[in-house]
Amino acid sequence: MEKVLIAGISGGQGRLVAHRLLDEYVLCGVDRHAWEGRPQGIALHRVDLLKRQFEDVLRTEKPKAVVHLGFVRHFRGVEAERHETNVRGTQLLLEHCVKYGVEQLVVVSSGYVYGAFAENPFYIHEDHPLSGSRSYPEIRDLVEVDTLASSFIWKEPGVRTAVLRPVSVLGTQVHSLSREILSQRRVPVVMGFDPMMQFIHEQDVAEAVALALDRGLQGAFNVTGPGAVPISVAIRECGSTPVPIPELLMRPLFNRLFRAGLIPWPAGVLDFMKYPVTLDGSRFEEESGFRPLFSLGEIFAAMREGKDP
Amino acid sequence: MNAVLSVASWAGSALHSAASAVADLTGAALPLATRDLLERVDERLAAVPAQLNEYGFDPWGLRPASLRHAAIPILLMYERYFRVETEGIESVPQGRALLIANHAGQLPFDAVMIGCAMLMEAEPPRIVRGMTEYWVSELPFASVWAARGGGVAGTPLTCREMLEAGESVLAFPEGVRGMSKLYAERYQLQRFGTGFMRLALETRTPIVPVAVVGSEEQQPGLANAKPLARLLRLPAFPITPTFPWLGPLGLFPLPVKYHIYFGAPMQFQGSANEDDAAIERRVEQVRTAITGLLERGRRERAGVFR
């Protein structure tokens, strides 16, 4: 069995990916955080991607493939540290992959790197510009990460690299922004706007990672779930209540509350509540044979019950 | 934060229940004739070939069930106010089609009436997809209504996907130039954009020339106050006999009579990547077809209001 290293293995999505890959690969993982009760046989190295020890792990473990999930996606910490972890961490990881002969790399980016704009076409393809930071400066590190990884595809063809850009991930374990927002009992929305949103179940994301490894995919891929509904429908189906607030009030309110540390999301998320950001996932489906296993109903039910359907 | 949300949520639900109470009242008080209209709309909507998910939405945010709510005022406008008469609607192809029409009247009642005609009179009934300007997506409420009724921000990519999915798409190549044209310029087609022709060639979609007679007199533009429009970030600021003097209500159309002519479908051959001159020649053919239908319509009608 081949060895796969998972960066960010202790996070919600990392654990799901580990469980999914457990039977097919020898697994090791790196994370700053512990994972108590992890399945037997998974070697966990508690190191920082930015530190020298991370390179040592790659040198000694000699994985054949790497799955990169080691990102900070929340906004609770210091912005500069988050940026450093995400961007510099990714850059080091890419360099180590080349240096230690990793043959395959899967980077789990995100669909919001394209950004939310009025002029967005529906069902964006992978060659669409990554303009996310234009209206949402707080995620510029994640856009940079995607750009680094996407150019790595061409720069280092010796490492088969797949960059996955899943739509909003929901479930019971993943720590995604969309889950955080839809877990609120009352969800503030921009009054008079109700864009279509796509969702995917966290286990389907793990499945997509497994397929990308299995097929040795190379390229950037949108990963879409079972379909799209307006955000208000999603909020209600998740058992919450949308609370429309006029944008004129909401934007300054969000800015102030975010800076004061009272809410975990910057005002940039508001554009995702105004304009549709929908992705075309046909390329990934064609190349990997991926079909989402969870329907919209099952995804929302999981959110409602706080446990898997 | 939570207190703010509770108050807002309370206000929201109060508004919502007030709205549904009004809806119930009107439902109970609906005259029989209007209920009749609703039944006809339901029948037509049920026969529309649409790809809806389990929540009743199509991939672009259309929701036929929402159209039902808007149907009564629209149908009353269609049958009683504008007294729309159509000709040639049976020639609209069954599958994908690009409907290209003249645009006028300050507010897009022409689009709504073409949509209503396609729903109530075409076979099978169709919900035409409108290509809206980007700024429509920036408007609160209007952006949602447009989407639920079948509109999308008019990007070439989205239009291509809709055509490939077999939708019928309505476009006004005159754009805002047409909608805000002055009374003195009525029925003079403004410059046509060429994007629609490239899309038609690329997707091998038949083009149906559509002429709307009546809309160009519905709200006679005397001037377009462009500096004011720029200041207010509006696409145009029309000065008409009633606007802005009567406030927003001043944009309500006069009771003109609408005649909508659907011309024979035009199938163009060639590559979407040809140079502008070659594309413009084909665009000109469509423009000529619409001009011909407009002239015929103006000749044949008894008057602007009847």
> Average pLDDT for residues A148-166, to the nearest whole number?
97
Q: How far apart are CA A146 and CA A142, in angstroms?
A: 6
* DSSP secondary structure of B89-158: GGGS-SS-EEEEE---SSS-HHHHHHHHHHHHTSSS---PEEEE-GGGGGSTTHHHHHHHTTEEE--HHH
Mean pLDDT for all residues in chain A: 94
* Residue A309: pLDDT over 60: no
Mutation pick from B15, B158, B159, B163 vs chain A, by most beta carbons of A within 10 Å, is B158
pLDDT tier at B13, thresholds 50, 70, 90: low
What are the Cα distances from residue B251, in Å, to B106, B177, B220, B241? 7, 17, 10, 9
Q: From A189, A171, A179, select the one nearest A293 (Cα to Cα).
A: A171
**What is the bridge-based pairing of β-strands A227-230 and A196-201?**
antiparallel
Mean pLDDT for all residues in chain B: 88
* Residue B3: pLDDT over 70: no
Test A122 with B161 for CB contact under 8 angstroms: yes
pLDDT tier at B232, thresholds 50, 70, 90: confident
* Residue B261: pLDDT over 90: yes
pLDDT at residue A34 in the model: 96
Test A121 with B153 for CB contact under 8 angstroms: yes
> Average pLDDT for residues A70-86, to the nearest whole number?
89
Q: What is the pLDDT of residues A187-239, one digit of tens each?
A: 999 999 999 999 999 999 999 999 999 999 999 999 999 999 999 999 999 99
> Average pLDDT for residues B230-250, to the nearest whole number?
89
pLDDT tier at B4, thresholds 50, 70, 90: very low
What percent of chain B clears pLDDT 90, i.e. is strictly above it? Answer: 68
Test A118 with B57 for CB contact under 8 angstroms: no
Q: How far apart are CA B296 and CA B306, in angstroms?
A: 16
> Average pLDDT for residues B43-48, to the nearest whole number?
92
Q: What tokens does B113 get?
A: 């009436």
Q: What is the pLDDT of residues B123-167, one digit of tens each?
A: 999 999 998 888 889 999 999 999 999 999 888 999 999 999 999
Q: What is the pLDDT of residues B90-129, one digit of tens each?
A: 999 998 999 999 999 898 899 999 999 999 999 999 999 9
Test B137 with A118 for CB contact under 8 angstroms: yes
Test A193 with B140 for CB contact under 8 angstroms: yes
Query: What is the nearest CA distance from B15 to chain A, expressed in angstroms?
Result: 11
Q: What is the pLDDT of residues A271-299, one digit of tens each?
A: 999 999 999 999 999 999 999 999 999 99
Per-residue exposure over B103-136, b if at least 16 CB sit within 10 Å of its own CB, e if not = bbbbbbbbbbbbbbbbbbbbeebbbbbbbbbebb
Of B9, B57, B60, the CB nearest to A186: B9
> What's the 3-state SS for A237-260?
HCCCEEEEECHHHHHHHHHHHHHC
pLDDT at residue A111 in the model: 95
> What's the 3-state SS for B127-138?
CCEEEECHHHHH
Q: How far apart are CA A298 and CA B90, in angstroms?
A: 43
Among the residues of A100-160, which ranges form H helices?
132-135, 140-155
Q: Which residue of B has its CA nearest to A295?
A: B54
pLDDT at residue A262 in the model: 87
* Residue B8: pLDDT over 80: no
Test B8 with A296 for CB contact under 8 angstroms: no
Q: How far apart are CA A286 and CA A289, in angstroms?
A: 6
* Residue A112: pLDDT over 60: yes
Query: What is the nearest CA distance from B134 to chain A, expressed in angstroms?
Result: 6
* Residue A89: pLDDT over 50: yes
Contact by Cβ (8 Å): B260, B113: yes
Which positions in chain A touch B4 (Cβ < 8 Å)?
253
Question: Does the model's ipTM exceed the 0.85 cut?
Answer: yes
> Average pLDDT for residues A37-47, to the nearest whole number?
95
Kindly tell me the sign of the dihedral angle through the C-alpha atoms of B242, B246, B247, B251. Answer: negative
Partners of residue A187 on adjacent β-strands: A242
Question: Which residues of A touch chain B, with CB atoms under 8 Å apart?
Answer: 118-123, 125, 186, 188, 190-196, 227-230, 233, 237, 241-247, 253, 257, 262-263, 274-276, 278, 295-297
Peptide bond into B124 cis (omega under 30): yes
What are the Cα distances from residue A129, in Å, to A8, A145, A255? 27, 14, 26
The structure tokens 């160009």 sit at: B216
Of A121, A242, A262, the CB nearest to B1: A262
Is the Cβ of B143 closer than 8 Å to some Cβ of chain A? Answer: yes
CB under 8 Å to B246, separation ≥6 — which residues? none
* Residue B1: pLDDT over 50: no
What percent of chain A clears pLDDT 70, i.e. is strictly above it? Answer: 99
Query: What is the nearest CA distance from B168 to chain A, expressed in angstroms?
Result: 17
Residue A188: its H or E element? strand A186-190
Taking one residue from A and the other from B, the number of pairs with CB-CB distance under 8 angstroms is 94
Query: What is the nearest CA distance from B154 to chain A, expressed in angstroms?
Result: 8
Is the Cβ of B288 closer than 8 Å to some Cβ of chain A? Answer: no
pLDDT at residue A307 in the model: 43
> Average pLDDT for residues B263-289, to the nearest whole number?
95
pLDDT at residue B134 in the model: 85
* Residue B35: pLDDT over 90: no
* Residue B176: pLDDT over 60: yes
* Residue B10: pLDDT over 70: no
Which of A60-74, A121-135, A255-269 is the least confident region? A255-269
A223 in helix, strand or coil? strand
> Average pLDDT for residues B81-86, to the nearest whole number?
96
* Residue A103: pLDDT over 80: yes
Query: What is the nearest CA distance from B151 to chain A, expressed in angstroms?
Result: 12
* Residue B22: pLDDT over 80: no
* Residue B210: pLDDT over 90: yes
Instruction: Give the predicted TM-score (pTM) of the model.
Output: 0.88
- Considering only residues B26 and B192, tell me which one the structure prediction assigns the higher pLDDT: B192
**What is the bridge-based pairing of β-strands B168-171 and A65-68?**
unpaired
CB under 8 Å to A210, separation ≥6 — which residues? A17, A20, A21, A24
Which of B208-212, B219-223, B259-263 is the least confident region? B219-223
The structure tokens 């991939």 sit at: B59
Q: Say how far residue B199 (Cα) sits from the centre of its chain.
A: 19
Query: What is the nearest CA distance from B169 to chain A, expressed in angstroms?
Result: 15
